[in-house]
Amino acid sequence: MKIGISSWTYPWAVGVDGHCPSRRLDALRLLERGCAMGAQVVQIADNLPLDGSLVAPLRRAAGGIEIELGTRGTEAGNLLRYLEYAVALGSRLIRTLPSEGCTADTLRTVLPEFERERVVLAIENYECLPSVELAAIVARLDSPWVGICLDTVNSLGALEMPEFTVKTLAPYTVNLHVKDFAIVRVPHRMGFEIAGRPAGQGRLDLPWLIDQVWSCGREPNLVLEQWPPFAGSLEETMAREAAWAEAGMNYLKRVAAPSSRP
Q: Are 173 and 148 in contact (CB under 8 A)?
A: yes
Instruction: Count H helices and E strands in the chain, helices first.
Output: 10, 10
Q: What is the rounded CA–CA span in Å between residue 223 and residue 233?
A: 27
Amino acid 146: pLDDT: 98
* Local structure of 182: helix, strand or coil: strand
186 burial type by CB count under 10 A (0-12 exposed, 13-18 middle, 19+ buried): exposed
Taking only the tens of pLDDT, the chain with its 262 residues reads: 899 999 999 999 999 999 999 999 999 999 999 999 999 999 999 999 999 899 999 999 998 999 999 999 999 999 999 999 999 999 999 999 998 788 999 899 999 999 999 999 999 999 989 999 999 999 999 999 999 999 999 999 998 999 999 999 999 999 999 999 999 999 999 999 999 999 999 999 999 999 999 999 999 999 999 999 999 999 999 999 999 999 999 999 999 886 566 5
Question: How far is it, in rounded angstroms, from Cα 68 to Cα 190?
Answer: 41
Q: Rounded to an integer, what distance in angstroms lies between the CA atom of residue 197 and that of residue 108?
A: 37
The pLDDT of residue 77 is 95
40 secondary structure, DSSP code: S
pLDDT of residue 33: 97
> 173-212 pLDDT, tens per residue?
999 999 999 999 999 999 999 999 999 999 999 999 999 9
Q: Measured between alpha carbons, how far is 2 from 252 in angstroms, rounded to an integer?
A: 10
What was the pLDDT predicted at 262? 58
Q: How far apart are alpha carbons 69 and 86 in whole angstroms?
A: 7
Distance (Å, rounded) from C-alpha 143 to C-alpha 122? 11
Which pLDDT does position 259 carry in this prediction?
Answer: 59
Residue 107 CB neighbour total at 10 angstroms? 23
Residue 112, pLDDT score? 97
Condensed to tens digits (0 to 9), the pLDDT of residues 30-45 reads 999 999 999 999 999 9
Look up the CATH number of domain 3-260: 3.20.20.150
**pLDDT tens digits, residue range 164-184?**
999 999 999 999 999 999 999
**Cα–Cα distance for residue pair 100/218, rounded to 1 Å:** 27
Average pLDDT, the chain: 95
HSE, CB side, 13 Å, CA atoms: give it for residue 211: 9
Measured between alpha carbons, how far is 176 from 204 in angstroms, rounded to an integer? 13
- The domains of the chain are located at 3-260
pTM: 0.95
User: How much is the pLDDT for 256?
Assistant: 87
User: Could you tell me which residues come within 8 angstroms of residue 121 by beta carbon, excluding any fewer than 6 positions away?
Assistant: 79, 94, 96, 107, 110, 111, 114, 145, 146, 147
**What kind and span of H or E run contains 221?**
strand 221-224
